[in-house]
Amino acid sequence: MAKTLDLYLHDLEVHHGVDPRLTALINHLAGTCKEISFKVSQGALAGVLGSAGSENVQGETQKKLDIIANDIMCRACTESGLVSGVASEEMDHALRVPEDCEVGPYLVLFDPLDGSSNIDINVSIGTIFSILPAGEPHRDVRDEDFLQPGRKQLAAGYVIYGPQTQLVFTLGFGTTLFTLDIGTGNFYQTVDKLQIAPQAKEFAINCSNMRHWEAPVQRYITELLAGKTGPRGKDYNMRWVAAMVAEVHRILNRGGIFMYPKDNRDPSKPGKLRLMYEANPMSWLIEQAGGRSTNGHENILDITPEGLHQRVAVFLGAQEEVDLVTSYHR
C-alpha cells in the first residue's frame, strides 16, 4: 500500500529529525494546492479563464487564475501560524503576517501558477514553492530576509496540475513524488526517489530564439540538432511545453536537459526565469535527483541573490549534458 503524505512526513520526523513545524508547513502547502487544483479544473465553468487586464511586477499580463492562485497561497501561508512572511512572483514586495495571526520560523516563496500562458489551452501548469529559514519568528519581515542562496532552502517543491495532480518535493533526502487521489483527497507516494540519468536523449529549449543566444548555447544546440552525423554521434528529440514545471516534471521522470538561456534582445537581463521563485527550488529538486543545474557559469544554488525578482539563465537536468553546455561558456 502506498504511503500517504502524512505518513511520509511523520517518518521524516522520526528517522531524520525533521522539525514537525516544517512537515506541518509542507502538509499545509499540499492542502492549499488541492484548492488551487480544483479552481484550475473548473476553468471555463467558473469563468476563471482569460486575462485579468492587469500586469504583475515583471510587466507580464496576469491571467485571472494567476491572481486567484496568488490570493489562495498568500492567505493560506500567512494564516498558517508557521511563517514570518511570504514572497510571490506576482507581488512587488514581501508580504507580512497579519497582526491577528501567529508567526512561525519559516519564509515561503512561490510562483502561484507557473506556465499561465497554457491555462486557456488546458496544458499542464503548476505551483512552485521554496521554504527558507526566518530565524526567530518575527512580524517585521523585509525583502532582504528572503535573499538567501538556494543552498539555504529547507524544502522545495511543486504541484503540477495535469492529467493527474502530483506533488514533488524534497527536504534534502531525495526528490519524491505523490499523486492526489481525488476520491479520498489524499496524496499517496507513487515514486519513492526520482533519479535522473546522467546522459540524455531529449532536450527542451525554445529554438525559435536561437538567433538571439550567446555563441556557447548556439554551439551546443547545433551539435544536438546534427544528431548522428554530428560530433555527439546520436540523435536527440526536442520538447517544449512553455511551462517550467512541466519541463522539469518530464526530466525528473524521463530524463533530459532543460534550458532557458540569456539572449541578446535585452543584454541587461541575465536571463528570464526568476532565481528565487523558479530556478532555486527547481535546481534543488534536480540536484536531489542526481542531476545538475547552472546558469552557464556557476551552480544556481550557490548564487547570492541581490533582489526578490532577480532573473537568471538556467541549464538543468542530466549531469553530463549540463556539464558540457556549461563548459562551452568557459
What is the DSSP-derived secondary structure letter of residue 98? Answer: P
Angle between helices 5-16 and 20-42 (to 10 degrees): 160
- Assess contact for 289 and 171: CB atoms under 8 A: no
pLDDT tens per residue, range 249-306: 999 999 999 999 999 998 888 999 999 999 999 999 999 999 999 999 999 999 999 9
267-287: burial string, b at 16+ Cβ within 10 Å, e else: eeebbbbbbbbbbbbbbbbbb
- Kindly give, in sequence order, each residue whose CB lies less than 8 Å from that of residue 52, ignoring residues fewer than 6 positions away: 61, 62, 63, 64, 66, 67
Residues in the chain, total: 330
Is 297 or 62 the better-scoring residue by pLDDT?
297
**Could you give the domains of the chain?**
5-191 (3.30.540.10), 202-327 (3.40.190.80)
Q: Assess contact for 139 and 96: CB atoms under 8 A.
A: yes
Which whole number is the average pLDDT over 172-195? 97
Is pTM beyond 0.85? Reply is yes
> What residues form DSSP beta bridges with 181?
186
Interhelix angle 244-254/280-288, rounded to 10 degrees, is 10
Condensed to tens digits (0 to 9), the pLDDT of residues 80-116 reads 999 999 999 999 999 999 999 999 999 999 999 999 8
